[in-house]
Structure 1
Amino acid sequence: MSYLNDVILGIIEGVTEFLPISSTGHLLLAQHWIGQRSDTYNIVIQAGAILAVTLIYWKRITDLLLGWNDPENRDYLIKLTVAFLITAVLGLVVKKLGFELPETIQPVAWALVIGGIWMIVAERAAERLPDSAKITMTVAVAVGIAQIVAGVFPGTSRSGTTIFVAMLLGTSNRAAATEFAFLVGIPTMYAASAYEILKTLTSDTGVSEDWTALGIAFVVSTITAFVSVKWLLTYIQSNRFTAFAIYRIVFGGLLLALLGMGVLA
């Protein structure tokens, strides 16, 4: 039964990591009933979803790396690096400050609702801008900061925050903004996973970590994320993000109502 719970958590992570509905928020909610998992567990199964995106974007990644002599590729890589470094530095600052994810549902529920409303407003504002797939340095810096903001406030959604920040600041093309947000997430999540694994292995907590359970959740997360992202990249070609925003508002509102009635604590 324990490993079935890990399969469930892997599915939740894989489906929600790149849809703009907050994987961290959904995992926190699921673990409220299934049982709390370690920070290492949560971050490493997110890396499973990142592995899926790495496979999906493998050709794009190799073209960028092997095409360093191309000015356009070089410019794109520099901006990806800037966004990643900003996230890495701010992430270490947040860690040093001792920030901990909330263990209660209420802040996640509010973040889901507020984030859903913000997504609707942001997309309408972005649609008034001329269509552009260009990634500016301003967008790169803002996306780097947005990744940390999403990490500090579970329920906001890393993918949703970064995509809409990019769209509002000039990369109004949904596909281009999504690609940049996803590509920045690859080194970010791999670095976070490596940091957590190293910390776990060099401390006493590594002994108590159930690596089999973590491995199961990792594999399930990878598979479901691959399917989820493939679907999303097709969906956004001709659809807005409105459906995800409505889901967030309804789901967050339901959680707040259940909290108000005392059904949830």
Structure 2
Amino acid sequence: MNIFEVIVLAIIEGLTEFLPVSSTGHMIIASSLMGIQSDDFVKLFTVAIQLGTILSVVVLYWKRFFKSFDFYFKLLAAFIPAVIFGLLFSKKIDELLESPLTVAVSLVLGGIILIFVDLYFKNATLDNADQISYPTAVKIGIFQCLAMIPGISRSGASIVGGMTQKLTRKAAAEFSFFLAVPTMFAATAKKLFDFYKDGHTINSQQLNLLLIGNVIGFVVALIAIKSFIGYLTKYGFRAFGIYRVIVGTIIIILLLSGHSLKII
């Protein structure tokens, strides 16, 4: 990987991680267009730059993270389903990660759901993510597990999960952001552990690339989160749904035309 590729991927990660559009699908297209060859460090990079995006959530909502211990326990309750499902189905998840077609189909189907989701959940009664109950947190966590299917979108699944529990679009999106912190931190920690367990090390050049990627991802995510909340509150999910369908269709067309797409 070179600096240009790092910058592009970091911008994509920062823009798409918290939007319901699937960062995986966008990584596929970008890496394919740039001809990035997948290796152990590239795979580590695409996960480890999530640390920057995690930090953006903590910075934007720092008061919420220091409000009460109850907040942390609710996040833990919502996080546990992902741990259980991840351990039970890790091999199947790895297999799905090798299938660009799975990503494309997931993008299209998820997009169709987002196009109509605002019509189905009109009677939201909870506008404060801090006030959700523990059972509600667990249910949202179960919805997040759907994102283990590549292309579903972690944020999209957890936001829709929140809306099924009577959360407003804003409250559901914010809880999705909060839930991303333990989820993405755990994913990054596991990837780093596996990287070193397999006998790899990070040299100074690779460390610089990780630092650059995280800084860019952090800045872009700050902008994306603030813009997303404002847009979502006013306009809803329809545009994101249409966009997902378009991106998924592009990937399907590329695959049918014989283009080789690899998930990095």
- For this structure pair, what is the TM-score category when the shorter chain's length is used for normalisation? 0.7 to 0.9
C-alpha RMSD over aligned residues: 2.3
Give the CA deviation at 1:85: 2.1
Percent identity, aligned pairs only? 35
How many Å separate the matches in 2 of 1:130 and 1:200? 43
Give the CA deviation at 1:48: 1.5
Aligned to 1:255: 251
How many Å separate the matches in 1 of 2:160 and 2:90? 25
Aligned to 2:113: 118
Aligned to 1:246: 242
Aligned to 1:154: 150
How many Å separate the matches in 2 of 1:170 and 1:158? 19
How many Å separate the matches in 2 of 1:194 and 1:255? 30
Matches within 5 A, 1:1-265: 2-34=2-34, 35=36, 36=38, 38=40, 39-65=43-69, 74=70, 76-95=71-90, 99-127=94-122, 129-133=123-127, 134-150=131-147, 152-171=148-167, 173-206=168-201, 210-263=206-259
How many Å separate the matches in 1 of 2:7 and 2:23? 15
SS in structure 1 opposite 2:78?
helix
How many Å separate the matches in 2 of 1:105 and 1:88? 24
Change (3 A) 1:192 1:254: closer
Q: Deviations over 1:104-146 (max 9, x none)?
A: 432211111100001123321111x243235233431222222
How many Å separate the matches in 1 of 2:179 and 2:193? 22
* TM-score, length-scaled by structure 2: 0.86
> What residue ranges of structure 1 are gaps of 5+ in the alignment?
66-73
Give the CA deviation at 1:213: 2.1
Q: Do 1:139 and 1:170's aligned partners in 2 also have CA atoms closer than 8 Å?
A: no
How many Å separate the matches in 2 of 1:8 and 1:223? 13
* Amino acid of the structure 1 residue aligned with 2:240: F
The alignment covers a number of residue pairs equal to 253
